[in-house]
A and B are shown apart, each in its own frame.
Chain A
């Protein structure tokens, strides 16, 4: 039975879903304009969530300090998002509405997200587009000057706004610009090339952070009245992923160890259309945007081991397996479903390419019907990227694609106000668990990051400040000194081991373990095996890792060592969570729980809850807390895209 944990107070408002957010906002306490500047907010991360939050909070008059790993805040991982951002504008007149976006998103997440959060997200989506256009984001337009849209997976309406294949870049430059304006106004202070390595908690409240200055190696302490984590997802635990190289879990993991609960860590998204792995030297995988599935058709040969080049395989010997299995959504089936279908045909021995672990994404029909220029205009940069990487021309031969790790739905648990279980620690964007349940639909991460940063945190943080007492603290306090000392000890330890294996070798090994046992398909035996292997690898890491250089210099190996050390701990929690969830839902596919035709088999009676894990010490198993998911407005059904 599901039992609500008293430690998880979600603060979800009651009443009609359409007016929940409005009424909640009206009930939140305010901070007067003159008092706002007395509060200092530490915003960690400057991606879409962080930059939009920093800008909006500073506009209100708060004092903001913004931190990021890169040399410039504009380079956060959000910059790489390609395909687009959803909004329920219904500009197409194709029947879209806030309700429909809400329904698609909650169904897309396989009914493992909160209704109220998802509804709010759909509601705010329309304001986001307005805001971004006003900032000068050059979204795609039609000849008449109106905004253009495309379709994304898991939806039967066209609601995705886009800026060529560089939507994330343009949205982030908009948010970055808004933040830089506040830098000029003196209300945001920027701290680039900094890595947050610990959270400082005083009297139960988040009051500061410890950072490493990545240029000098010096540890720096910053005090504030609240900490807003916008540090992105943890998919790089798998080593090979579509994430930027610096994406990591360190900030959220160290907050977990300071008392923030970690929710649904096993919900990790594997995206169907990425460029396949070519060699063991490979450092990352590259996404080919989901938008390509608007015009590309996915297929493999019907025959096993068919090595003919694609253009020599006649039409009736091809299996357009997504269209066959999911006739109503076809190539636009959601990511989890499409990825599993790709894996299934490759497991059958029908995969293509040298490794046999790839399928075709073929544009020849569209090129024939609509012409080359149509494709060039819509996807030119993606085609170019594909050609750079593979050396093949996708205008002539179909792309070869395979699933890769892409996004993490799990993250730190937050209440409706985006506050974690540590008062004063707020978590935004991909770093939290809030809106996507067990599977995220395409074009909804950008939407969530910006909703959190532009339109939610500016309201909810004021309520926190107005409700609690926050005596002034300085970084001279013991709590700061202790945190700094523990960070320093850890760095020294990493450097002192001087073993035989590099950080990269450990990371690759961990990645393979996760991919094999906590990847697209999982089972109890494999997960138990993974847990043992991860523990052993972690032990070996702390005895045998070799980290070159010293602490008092720019030292990327040392940075990576700290991040891999944290991945080695988080990976175990991912496996524990996957093992405990004895059902299949969304991206979490347990082989033991499937329908006869291989679809996910949910168990709402036992598992319609958020699994939030509490850290209990390095030698103790984490404690599970359940937040039941209550569906008042939609009825959880079998998620069908057939």
Chain B
């Protein structure tokens, strides 16, 4: 355990609601333990604000272990902050320097309107998933699980894509606010598996159409998404999605 205490200066985006204008407000938090998580540090700040009669900084979080995709904001210009392959909730103060000034702002994208402070509305992702992010199989109609043989490498490859947590950092990092990494991860997960083949064309057409409807921008291969993705989702899936999309269009 690390005994040294730290101080952080925080520049945090405060915005009362979707309509209100926002602005940065400066806070200083002292006597922090380096073993504390970044969100626990915000808990400490919020306790202090509450005691002073001020409004706490609102931010989303739930599992606090990097799996639910609830947390997420931009730290010093980078979605999910300085550590590659981690979510905001997986950052610890030992990842920061004593006395550092840290800027916190919400994910910025037209498709993700700010709700309050660091909280944004990512429901567009659910609508894209509703359009086709699944295999159509009613409960009770499945054959025996081992009747579908899936080579280990194939299952592992599908898993790599299925690991997306739907956090939206890829959108926030993209200069065009494209959702391509998120959408392609689901398309690749299902396209790589035998069970996903029957709906492969239909799925990609429907999901891409919905993505376009939701005010996300186009992908122009910047690769910023991959760099911030906490689950290291690869941009090769975007290429797969494009190929599948063209094939599906041709087949139509």
Contact = CB atoms under 8 A, between A and B. Distances in A.
A55 B111 CA distance: 27
What range describes how many residues of B lie at the interface?
Answer: 35 or more
A70 B68 contact: yes
A281 B55 contact: no
Nearest to B39: A283
A135 to B, nearest CB: 5
A235 to B, nearest CB: 14
Contact of B63 (A77, A142, A282, A454): A77
B50 A454 contact: no
Given A71-B60, A145-B151, A554-B119, A389 B135 contact: no
B80 interface: no
A281 B33 contact: yes
Nearest to B149: A145
Nearest to A354: B1
B65 A80 contact: yes
A192 B7 CA distance: 37
B159 interface: yes
B55 A138 contact: no
A135 B126 contact: no
Interface string B142-155: 11111011111011
Interface range for A: 35 or more
Contacts of B184: none
Given A163-B159, A178-B134, A548-B56, A146 B62 contact: no
Contact of B145 (A89, A170, A391): A89
A177 B66 contact: no
A85 to B, nearest CB: 12
A555 B17 CA distance: 11
B201 interface: no
Contacts of B158: 136, 138
A389 B196 CA distance: 36
Interface in A268-298: 278-279, 281-284, 286
Given A181-B130, A283-B40, A70 B62 contact: yes
A538 B196 CA distance: 53
Contacts of A9: none
B190 A169 contact: no
A399 to B, nearest CB: 15
A246 B33 contact: no
Interface core residue of A144, A166, A284, A555 (most chain B CB under 10 Å) = A284
A281 B50 contact: no
Interface of B: 1, 16-17, 33, 35-37, 39-40, 43-44, 46-47, 49-51, 53-56, 58, 60-70, 86, 90, 92, 94, 115-116, 119, 121-123, 125-126, 129-146, 148-152, 154-156, 158-159, 162-163, 165-166, 189-190, 193, 195-196
Interface of A: 52, 55-56, 59, 70-75, 77, 79-80, 89, 91, 127, 129-136, 138-147, 163-164, 166, 169-170, 173, 176-178, 180-181, 183-184, 190, 192, 215, 244-246, 278-279, 281-284, 286, 354, 385, 388-389, 391, 454-455, 458, 500, 502, 504-505, 546, 548-549, 553-557
Given A180-B130, A281-B40, 5 more contacts: A77-B63, A129-B145, A135-B134, A183-B126, A246-B62
